[in-house]
Amino acid sequence: MEGEDCGSAAPAVVQTGRSGIDVYNAHCFACHATGVSNAPLVAAEDWQVRLDEKGYETLLANTKAGFNVVMPPMGTCMACSDDELKAAIDYLLYGE
């Protein structure tokens, strides 16, 4: 009612998706933890070279489309949102 205090209504819960490490552990670990087919390891120096040469948006596009015949589209995470893929890329780039 107008003018009355609503008391202690619980705030709405906002779903933000999975963290980068969660996506990595579920979909990226098999190749990026071992370097299978030259997949860069987490926070490896060659990520910076890729980032400098191609840019972040190209890394995201390659993640979504698949890369070099070896990496499958979406890194097998077909249900991942762009934000979840970006979080996984950030984890791979920086280990955080």
Considering only residues 5 and 92, tell me which one the structure prediction assigns the higher pLDDT: 92
* Confidence (pLDDT) at 96: 87
Identify the burial level of 62 via C-beta atoms within 10 angstroms of its C-beta, where 0-12 means exposed, 13-18 middle and 19 or more buried: middle
Nearest Cα to 92, choosing from 38, 36, 52, 48?
48
**Residue 52 maps to a domain:** yes
Domain count, the chain: 1
CATH number at residue 77: 1.10.760.10
Asked whether the beta carbons of 27 and 75 are under 8 A apart, the reply is yes
Q: Tens digits of per-residue pLDDT, 18-65? A: 999 999 999 999 999 999 999 999 999 989 999 999 999 999 999 999
